[in-house]
Every structure is written in C-alpha cells, then in structure tokens.
Chains A and B, each alone.
Chain A
Amino acid sequence: MDIDKRQFLKILGISSALWVGSRFAGGISSLFGIGDKFDTKALADAGFEISKTLPDPKALTAKQWAIAIDIRQFKTADDYKKCIMVCDKIHNIPDISTKQDIKWIWEEPYNAAFPEQHNNYMGGQLKDKPVILMCNQCEFPPCVRVCPTGATFKRQDGIVMMDYHRCIGCRYCMAGCPYGSRSFNFQDPRPFLKKIDPEYPTRTKGVVEKCDFCAERLDKGLMPACVEASNGAMVFGDLRDPGSDIRKILSSNFSIRRKPELGTQPNVFYLI
C-alpha cells in the first residue's frame, strides 16, 4: 500500500485526535465521579464480604402516596401555622421576604388556589378561606418530563423527588410546573435561616427545591411532618390500596384537586 506524506499526516492526525479524545472523555468521567468506582467484585473475589445498601425495614411503602386535606377542619390561624412551621423548621426553609422567596408548603385564599372555580356570588366564608398548598406529587409530572438531567424524578412510591446534587439550576421545571410549587435558590439560603436543623441539609445557591412528601421521614417509618401536625385534618396514604384511610375518606367525601384539566393527576386532594 502506498501512503504519501499527506495521507500519512492525515492518519497520524486522526489517530492522535482519537487518542486525545478518549483520554479527555476518561478524564471527564472521573472528574464527575462516574467510572473509577471501587471494585466490589474484586473485594468479593478476594474473600471479603460485600457491603450492600438496603431500604430501612421500618420504611413506609406504597404504590402511590397521596394526601387528602380537609379544609373544613382548618379553623384558626394556628391550624395552618402549625403545619407550615413544622415543615419550615425540619427542612431548613429560609425566610426570604423578596420576590425570590422559597416555599414548600404555604397558604393561599380559595379563590387563588382554585381560580377556575371562581364565582362572584360565593359566600365570603369559602371564597377567602386560606387553603394549604404544596407540591401535588403529580402522577404525570411536567417537571420530570422537562428536566434535562434527571435531577427531578419519580420514585417507585409516586413521590416526585429532587436530587440537589444533580440539579444544574436551569429552572425549566419551574416553567413546567402549573402549580407554582417550585422555588429556586437565587442566593445562599443560610443567612435567612434563624436556626439550622443539623439533621437535614440546607440547599446551596443555584438549585431548585420543593416539597417531597417528607420522603426522608417515610424512609425512616415516619409520616409526613405536616400530616402529623395537622391533628387529623390531613390524611396520608396509599391511593392504590382500596383499604387505606385516604381511599375511605375520598369515597365518602366530595373532593377537588387543583387544575385537574391539565391531566397531571395531582395527588393532593381537598375536601371542602
């Protein structure tokens, strides 16, 4: 085979580019912590027991978690406050008073929470009555659909979860969420925390956060904090289990959900 100088240089160029490329890719993957994992198989071959990770046997499990909020049982300002404050406290949610604020669970007047139910002649009692709002943990969550990195994803038990380590802060999920349930850390949240609960991480600037039905508590066998604080005004359970408390409540009461027409199948129900 005849190779002239030009062809030789071409082959040399291409092969060295490939080599550099492969090195670069290797470098990138180790930089981001993929690849180069410690070799559990080698450990096992050497006669070691292999370590493993397991769910907590006490963990609460379900096919689809859901909450029913009986707003008839919320009477005094304190009824709302105790549910909201316990969440703010255990999740280190900063108190920012600008338009760049952070909310996981909060209250809105009935009219704002259900704008499509608006009716000028409704009694003032319900019209302006505050309603507890939080992430709807949609069965078909638009935020998960649009997230470009899988930083927000659906767990086996239906909870729409945030991976704060992976979020790049593009805020596409905030545009996607039709319920205004997501908040972005425009700044470091720590200066806005009076007290930090050391058992739960704060967030860093540049990531999106939201309510996750207290996934960390469920995994330890505890009910969501707001449900626990509500004295029975909120009922939590597995929507796919016909015998669950929430199914009983939903079959015996009239309930509504926020913007059901969007097809997201919200998993927060309101008894009015």
Chain B
Amino acid sequence: MYDSGKIITGLVLFVGLVTLPFWYSIGKAQVKPDPSLNTPVINQMKVKHCIESKQFMIDNHMELLNDWRNAVVRDNKTLYVSTTGQSFTMSLEVTCFHCHSNEKQFCNQCHSYVNIQPYCWECHVKPAEEIANGH
C-alpha cells in the first residue's frame, strides 16, 4: 500500500471524529427526565388531565403547538376543541402555562435530556418571568 502512514493516520482521525459524541459523553451521568406536575393549579385539579391524553401530548405537543400558532396567527381562530369536546384558548401563556407554571421542572426536563433548545422563550414569556416581572 502506498502512503500507508498517511492513510492509516487519516482513518484513525476519521473514526475518532465520527465517534466524538460518544467520547464526549463518556463518564457523564444522564439523569432520566422527570417532568413535574407539582404546580398550584394542577394540584387543585380533581382529575389531572391535559387538553388531550398524556401519551398524545408527549408524542405530539410540538406539532400541536405549531398548528395552534398557524391557526391563531394566520386563520384568526383562537379556540381549540379537544377530542373530549372541551374547548381551550390556543395560547401558550393563557392555557399551557396556566397549569404548567414550572418551566424548569416541566419543559426543560425532556428538552435538556434530548439536548434541544426550542426558541419559544425568545418571544413568549416564561411563566417564571411573570412573577419576577421583567428582569
């Protein structure tokens, strides 16, 4: 093999780079996400039920929120009638955060675990900020 030195060094570098994420997270304990439902509003609910079933919300909340924003911003629709027939105002602030007022213990649990940074908070006001009012 010609240039075997260069080729082997190149291969080692390549394999090293491709497996970098694994090397990077070695030795770091990953805490299992545990979204908390411990908020004043949820604690007072007799039947703890979100606007749709828990599994549906876990699987689809991103698409649901995306559809909501299109419906509100582009089609002047503001009400969501769920599969159980209840209606809700389509609003992160008014509806979602009313119950889930604990962003750190709820949203961030999974989002940090899967390492995604939704940019909702660049415009929408985090529930915690409501209490602090401004910065």
Contacts and interface: CB of A to CB of B under 8 A. Distances in A.
Whether A and B touch (Cβ < 8 Å) is answered with yes
A33 B63 contact: yes
B52 to A, nearest CB: 7
Interface of A: 33, 36-38, 43, 48-56, 59, 153, 155-157, 161, 163-165, 188, 190-191, 193-205, 215, 219-220
A195 B80 contact: no
Contact of A54 (B77, B124, B134): B77
A164 B59 contact: no
Interface residues on B, range: 35 or more
Interface string B51-68: 010001001101110111
Given A38-B64, A53-B90, A204-B122, A43 B78 contact: no
Interface in B33-89: 52, 56, 59-60, 62-64, 66-69, 71-85, 87, 89
B67 A195 contact: no
Interface of B: 52, 56, 59-60, 62-64, 66-69, 71-85, 87, 89-91, 93-94, 119, 122-125, 127, 129-130, 133-135
A262 B98 CA distance: 47
B59 A55 contact: no
Nearest to A157: B76
Contacts of A195: 133-134
Nearest to B87: A54
A36 B62 CA distance: 11
Nearest to B60: A38
19 contacts: A33-B63, A36-B63, A38-B60, A38-B63, A49-B84, A49-B85, A51-B81, A54-B87, A56-B79, A59-B78, A193-B134, A195-B133, A198-B93, A198-B125, A198-B127, A201-B123, A202-B125, A203-B123, A204-B123
